[in-house]
Structure 1
Amino acid sequence: MSNFLYYLAAFAVVLGVLVVVHEFGHYLAARWVGVKVLRFSVGFGRPLWAKRFGKDDTEWAIGAFPLGGYVKMLDEREGEVPASDLARSFNRQPVQRRMAIVAAGPLANFLLAIVVYWGLFWHGTEEFKPILGVPVAASPAAAAGLENGELVLKVAGEAVQTWQEMRWVVLQRAAERDEVDLEVVNPHHEIAIRRLDVSSVRLAGWEGDALDRLGLALFRPRLPPILGKVNANSAAAAADLQPGDEILAIDDQPIGSWADVVHSVRQSPGKALVLDVLRGGERILTTVTPMAVDERGREIGRIGAAVSDGGLSRAELVVTVSYGPFSALGKAVAETWDKSTFTLLMIGKMITGEVSWRNISGPVTIADYAGQSARLGIDYYLKFLALVSISLGVLNLLPIPILDGGHLLYYLAEIIKRGPVSEKAMEIGQQIGLALLLMLMAFAFYNDINRLFSG
């Protein structure tokens, strides 16, 4: 239950921030051009909380249904407007002003992403270097000749510093071509070019993790099964395990690495395990019972012990990436632009059938990712927030009636025909837009439920 509440809270914070920022963009633009705002609501339905304040006595409210929000402006189409306020009515504004108000919501989401990325790039983030692990057998990575421990220097001629940068460039190139050249350097400092076939990502409709499909795995050093830390009041402490203990076998099964220990413990929640331990040159037997804990809806075992670092240098595995304030801002703008255009490209490919509709995620999947990123640390959580903010901005600019992009389409038609779109046309458009959104929501919820049961 605590795990569920943690993920729910992480999702609620992301959703709340994105909705407030989006609607605040509309609000500020409306105030800027002189339109009177009647209500600013986070959530729909009956208000759970409401308060009026400000020069225009605007009502600020929190609705019962939290997935979204809205800004209600003075508009003659929605009710009688006093003669003194007619000039401040939304419907009486020039089309350019109405477009500015509508576009301000998505633009606020893009601005949020830029600010978040700017802060992260300026502050600096610690990330894994793009060091490759053992490629999956019979995978494109194995066919390309990639080897364990190779450091990727460039992808398609573009320099990369981190695993996430490498991942992002591979994804971008996979959308354009069938093969990508990776420039790598092996542990012996020999540089080589590996040609990676990335066509399988596109042929599979971009389903699942693209790097997993390509057989690209992050390097994980082989750690000896030696304890480095034992938590107080843990299962390991109850079994009298101590730092420096080397685990030779579990239930008479030989142990070769710390990964073997983790696997055995995770698979045995609440089950007593007999450990053959080497301590100070003497072999002893002890029994440990892993505590059962919930991990994303699945019960696993934990004993409360960490591995010894084995003398590994952290600097060999991670890198801190940071920029000056002006370089960080340029990098943030470029990052937001790249992810926006890639999102738009994927939506286009989804429409043409090149990308599977199973990639659409609903609130359950987004909440899961929010919780996972929050557990990884504030840097990952903020990057997730920026990515979802970009997705929300792009989605709202799509030319679908009901969405901001649909309203912008109406206003563009108004400019071209030099007159407002008829109410009948707008009504039909609203019905079409609503049908499309309901269809998207149905796909999203179906995919969420499918992922819950299929994993």
Structure 2
Amino acid sequence: MNLLIELLAFAVAIGVLVVVHEYGHYSVARLCGVKVLRFSIGFGKPLFQWVSPKTGTEWTIAALPLGGYVKMLDERETGGAPIPVEALPHAFNRQSVWRRFAIVAAGPVANFLLAIVLFALVFATGVTEPAAVVASPAPNTPAALAGFDGGETIVAVRAENAGEAAPVRSWSDLRWKLLGAAFDHKRVVLSAKDAHGTSDFQLDLRGITEKDVDDDFMSHLGFEPGGGKLTVAGVQPDSAAQKAGLVAGDRLRTVDGIPTDNATAFIAYVKSHAGKPMTLQVERGGQAEGKREDVRIVPQSQRDEATGQQIGRIGAELATQVPSIDVHYGPVESLQLGARRTWDLAVYSVRMFGRMIVGEASLKNLSGPVTIADYAGKSARLGPSAFLSFLALVSISLGVLNLLPIPVLDGGHLLYYLVEAVTGKVVSDRWQLVFQRAGLACIVALSAIALFNDLARLIHF
């Protein structure tokens, strides 16, 4: 059943993105007076075909639904057959360089516009997200050095020396704001509320490296969602948890006197205490609020296959219930936020791709169709908002990818047109052929790496 959901969600996602991208090319070509011969969804053998009586365009759905194309009237692609004189003004190659530029750029632009609309829909209909409540940070992390103890609710972010404070509405909103500041290596001031009022915390992001951004960014800063309930969901037989008397339903309040409300931080603490006794303060199910018990537990020492080091495990399954918030926005604000989120993601994608090229970021960040299908299914099962957000994210990725200055992609053609606009000369067919072969090699290499990453994630090596 899960596989069917993934395949259907993947087909819907790819279908929508391809149609929007190619319709961008088609609509601007029509506005520029260019004759469109075929609009194809997919490649290979046509499954369905019909011809528009008004425009003469052949609309096709082909057997291989992993892309599409718009074929326009072009003297270079007639196989030597002459084009009637009256049709020449409608040929793509007869258009001005800026019209050709607009037609080619319209595909990626359509993907960005789709992302803006999708994000705006999510913002306007409302989305439930974790609140920006922080858990107790690990020692020596930027969050701990800034003075956070845990339990604070971050309400605003501003630059260190100047600038208007930007409100923080949710955990994901906080993450995006900190990610932007980390890319610029800035110090920021976070305003947070707790039981004693509102305080400012200065967070230093100047030492954040590109690898830190690649990995679990918020965890590296010491930020984890907090303020919720960390409970024991299950206990494994003959485990340290069972021997200590932990049972399903126990709520973990403190570990060695340190408040704990986040599974990630708790697991990290347990791992660092292999063979060392710990004291857990738990709240038993069915007892009144505030009535707690102390449980002494010694994590079992096990070898971590990833690092080869000995780590602690207690054999308990954990569940975290963090406070959430329903975020709603008006129509105008939703469009503004959709545009801002699209811009932020597009810039982040370009920066990340550039760092992968120069070796400052791992190529493991590339994903292929298997991973996309997996996330399509997962987001579809989470609900409409999650699927729309996923669709917007992939649409942005498709737009950015197509704008890369690689021949055979839209960005490669745009580069040719820029050279033509500056020099007044068309890039020769000979050089275009050379660049096309090089570009094809780049695309094959990128596809191979993405597919390898997909397979590596599936078999975990």
TM-score between the two structures when normalised by the length of structure 2 = 0.75
Q: Structure 2 vs 1, CA of residues 427 and 101 (structure 1 numbering), >3 Å: closer, same or farther?
A: same
1:379 maps onto 2:371 in alignment: no
Q: Select 1:215's aligned residue among 202, 222, 229.
A: 222
1:59 maps onto 2:72 in alignment: no
Specify the alignment match of 2:100 in structure 1: 98
Deviation at 1:7, TM superposition (A): 1.7
CA contact (8 A) 1:106 1:393 kept: yes
Deviation at 1:169, TM superposition (A): 1.2
Specify the alignment match of 1:236 in structure 2: none
Output aligned runs, 1:245-324, within 5 Å: 253-255=245-247, 257=249, 317-324=323-330
Specify the alignment match of 1:431 in structure 2: 437
**1:5-47 deviation per Cα after TM superposition (whole angstroms, max 9, x unaligned):** 2122222211111110000000111111111111111111222
**1:223-260 deviation per Cα after TM superposition (whole angstroms, max 9, x unaligned):** 6779xxxxxxxxxxxxxxxxxxxxxx979942264679
Alpha-carbon separation, structure 2, partners of 1:108 and 1:24: 8
Alpha-carbon separation, structure 2, partners of 1:10 and 1:43: 17
CA contact (8 A) 2:191 2:198 kept: no
Q: Select 1:183's aligned residue among 170, 187, 191.
A: 191
Unaligned runs of 5+ in 2: 160-165, 234-240, 253-262, 264-283, 289-318
CA contact (8 A) 2:147 2:201 kept: no
The aligned amino acid for 1:132 is V
CA contact (8 A) 2:249 2:285 kept: no
Specify the alignment match of 1:45 in structure 2: 44
Alpha-carbon separation, structure 2, partners of 1:133 and 1:279: 25
Specify the alignment match of 2:153 in structure 1: 151
The aligned amino acid for 2:247 is I
Alpha-carbon separation, structure 2, partners of 1:143 and 1:446: 39
Describe the SS at the equivalent of 1:254.
coil
The aligned amino acid for 2:67 is G
Q: Select 1:395's aligned residue among 377, 395, 401.
A: 401
Specify the alignment match of 2:258 in structure 1: none
1:78 maps onto 2:77 in alignment: yes
The alignment's C-alpha RMSD in Å is: 3.1
Q: Select 1:411's aligned residue among 391, 396, 417.
A: 417
The aligned amino acid for 2:365 is N
Unaligned runs of 5+ in 1: 227-248, 264-276, 282-306
Q: Structure 2 vs 1, CA of residues 420 and 255 (structure 1 numbering), >3 Å: closer, same or farther?
A: same
Alpha-carbon separation, structure 2, partners of 1:117 and 1:42: 25
Specify the alignment match of 2:273 in structure 1: none
Alpha-carbon separation, structure 2, partners of 1:390 and 1:176: 22
Percentage identity across paired residues of the two chains: 46
Deviation at 1:181, TM superposition (A): 4.1
Q: Select 2:201's aligned residue among 193, 200, 218.
A: 193
Q: Select 2:112's aligned residue among 110, 113, 133.
A: 110
The aligned amino acid for 1:32 is L
Alpha-carbon separation, structure 2, partners of 1:380 and 1:259: 29
Q: Structure 2 vs 1, CA of residues 417 and 162 (structure 1 numbering), >3 Å: closer, same or farther?
A: same
Specify the alignment match of 1:166 in structure 2: 174
Deviation at 1:102, TM superposition (A): 0.5
Output aligned runs, 1:317-332, within 5 Å: 317-332=323-338
Deviation at 1:425, TM superposition (A): 1.0
Number of equivalenced pairs? 386
Alpha-carbon separation, structure 2, partners of 1:54 and 1:148: 67
The aligned amino acid for 2:174 is M
CA contact (8 A) 2:35 2:72 kept: yes
Deviation at 1:406, TM superposition (A): 0.8
Q: Structure 2 vs 1, CA of residues 208 and 48 (structure 1 numbering), >3 Å: closer, same or farther?
A: farther
Specify the alignment match of 2:370 in structure 1: 364
CA contact (8 A) 1:39 1:72 kept: yes
Deviation at 1:62, TM superposition (A): 1.9
1:29 maps onto 2:28 in alignment: yes
CA contact (8 A) 2:127 2:327 kept: yes
Q: Select 1:420's aligned residue among 418, 426, 429.
A: 426
